[in-house]
Chain A
Amino acid sequence: MAFSEQEILEGLGKIINEITGIPASEVTPDKSFVDDLDIDSLSMVEIAVAAQDEFGVEIPDDQLKNLKTVKDVINFINA
C-alpha cells in the first residue's frame, strides 16, 4: 500500500512523540534525528519498529544508520 508524503510525516510525528516525547509538530522533513531532534540510536530502533507496524516497510539496522533526516525515512518508506 502506498502512502502520501504527508501521511508518512504525520505517522512519524505521532510515533516519535510516543517514543521520545518530542512534539509531533517539531518533526518536519528537514530535521536531522541526531543533530536537531536529539534522538539516540536505540530510540531510532524503536521508531523503525513502530514505523514497520504502521507502514508495513521493514527498516533493517544496516539501513537505519544511513537515514539521517525525517525526509530520508519518508523516502525509504515510499521507495
Chain B
Amino acid sequence: MRIPDVAPGARVLAFGGYQPSKVVTNDDLAETMDTNDEWIQSRVGIKERRIAPAGESVTDMAVQAGGKALAASGLSAGDIDLVIVATCTPETQIPNVSASVAHRLGIHAPGAFDVNAACAGFCYALATASAAVRGGAARHVLVIGAEKLSQWVDWTDRATAVIFADGAGAAVVGPSETPGIGPVVWGSAGDKADAIYVKDRSSFLYQEGQTVFRWATTALHPVAKEACERAGVDPAELSAFVPHQANLRIVEAIARKLGAEKAAVARDIVLAGNTSAASIPLALSRMIERGEVPSGGLALLLGFGAGLTYAGQVIEIP
C-alpha cells in the first residue's frame, strides 16, 4: 500500500455566484399575504429576494454558479476531479445533484456527492474539499451551495415566505504551499431538530423563529471565535465576516459579539433573502465582485441552520 501525494495546504482559487432573474419585493409579498415592507425589514432585514421559475432547478442554478467559479479560477473542466454540492432542497433525492452538475459542466467522471447540512452545508462541503486536497484524495474540487427554498415554502405563511429564497454560490478549491483554508469548527445540536423541519414530502418548511433566533444569537459567536483561534487569527485581523444570511439581526448580533472591527460584514440578505447553503458563497462572491474585500485578506465563514448544525472556518480571500 502507498500513501498518496499530499498537499501542504488547500486554498480557494475563485468564487462564483448566481441568482435567478425574478425579483420579488416586500410589496409584492404584501399583495398576497398579511405583511408589509416595514414589518419584513425590521424583523429580518430583507428588501427583496430572487425566486426561480418552475422550470429552473437546483441543478440549473448550481451549474450557473459552478461555471462562473470555474471560469474565474482559470482552470478548465478537465482539472476538476471532485464535485461537492451542498443542498437541502434538491428536486430529487435520486440521483444526486452533483453528478449531473459535473456532467453539464463538462467535468469528466469526477467524484461527486451531495452534502445536507442545511444552511451550514457550504462550510461542511468546503472543509471536506480542503481535507480531500490536503489528503491527496482530490487535486481540484468544485464546491457548490445551491438551493431552491421557494419550492418548500408555504406562500401563504408570512413567518417563512418572507425569509427564504433561491440562488447558488460556488468555490474552486486547489492545493497550496501555504494554508488558505483554516481548520473547521463544526458541530450540531440534534436536541433542537424540531426547530426547523419539513415533516414529509408533501409538507412545507416550518421554523420555530424564536428558538432559532435565541440559539443563533447566543451559541454561535463562541464557534466563530473558536474558528479564529484554531486558525491562529485574531478577529481584529479579519478583512471579512461572512456568516450565513439567516436574518440581518442575527448577522449583526454575531458580528457585534465577535468584535471583528476591521471586517466587512456580509449583509447580502438585504437583496438576496435567506438562500440556505448558497448564502455564504453567494454573498462573498458579490463582495469580491464589488471590490469590498481585498484579495489575500482573511475571511471568517460561519454556516448554521437546520439540524441544528453549524460550521465555521477562516479562509484566505482569492
Q: Does B211 contact A42, Cβ atoms closer than 8 Å?
A: no
Stretch at the interface among B53-61, B92-100, B213-221, B267-275: B213-221
Please give the distance in Å from A13's CB to the nearest CB on chain B. 21
Query: Is B32 an interface residue, CB under 8 A from the partner?
Result: no
Given known pairs A61-B210, A61-B211, A64-B210, the reply for A42 and B218 (CB within 8 Å) is no
Closest B residue, CB atoms, query A65: B210
Q: Does B210 contact A49, Cβ atoms closer than 8 Å?
A: no
Interface residues of B, count at CB 8 A: 13
Determine chain B's interface SS by DSSP, over half rule: helix
Please give the distance in Å from B89's CB to the nearest CB on chain A. 25
Q: Does A49 contact B42, Cβ atoms closer than 8 Å?
A: no
Residues of chain B within 8 A (CB-CB) of A48 are 214
- Give bound CA distance, A58 to B59, whole Å: 44
Q: Does A49 contact B214, Cβ atoms closer than 8 Å?
A: yes
Query: Is A46 an interface residue, CB under 8 A from the partner?
Result: yes
Query: Is B249 an interface residue, CB under 8 A from the partner?
Result: yes
Instruction: From A40, A44, A46, A64, give the contact of B42 (CB < 8 A).
Output: A40
- Give bound CA distance, A64 to B43, whole Å: 18
Interface residues of A, count at CB 8 A: 10
- Give bound CA distance, A41 to B159, whole Å: 12
Q: Which of B189-226 contact A (CB under 8 A)?
A: 208-211, 213-214, 217-218
1/0 contact string of A59-76 vs chain B (CB within 8 Å): 001001000000000000
Residues of chain A within 8 A (CB-CB) of B218 are 49
Q: Does A45 contact B210, Cβ atoms closer than 8 Å?
A: yes
Residues of chain A within 8 A (CB-CB) of B42 are 40
Closest B residue, CB atoms, query A52: B218
Q: Does B43 contact A49, Cβ atoms closer than 8 Å?
A: no
Residues of chain A within 8 A (CB-CB) of B217 are 45-46, 49
Please give the distance in Å from B169's CB to the nearest CB on chain A. 26
Please give the distance in Å from A47's CB to the nearest CB on chain B. 11
Q: Does A40 contact B211, Cβ atoms closer than 8 Å?
A: no
Pairs across A and B, CB under 8 Å, 11 listed: A40-B43, A41-B209, A41-B210, A42-B209, A42-B247, A44-B210, A45-B214, A61-B208, A61-B210, A61-B211, A61-B214
- 10 closest Cβ pairs, A-B complex: A61-B210, A45-B214, A45-B210, A45-B213, A42-B213, A61-B211, A49-B218, A41-B210, A42-B249, A49-B214
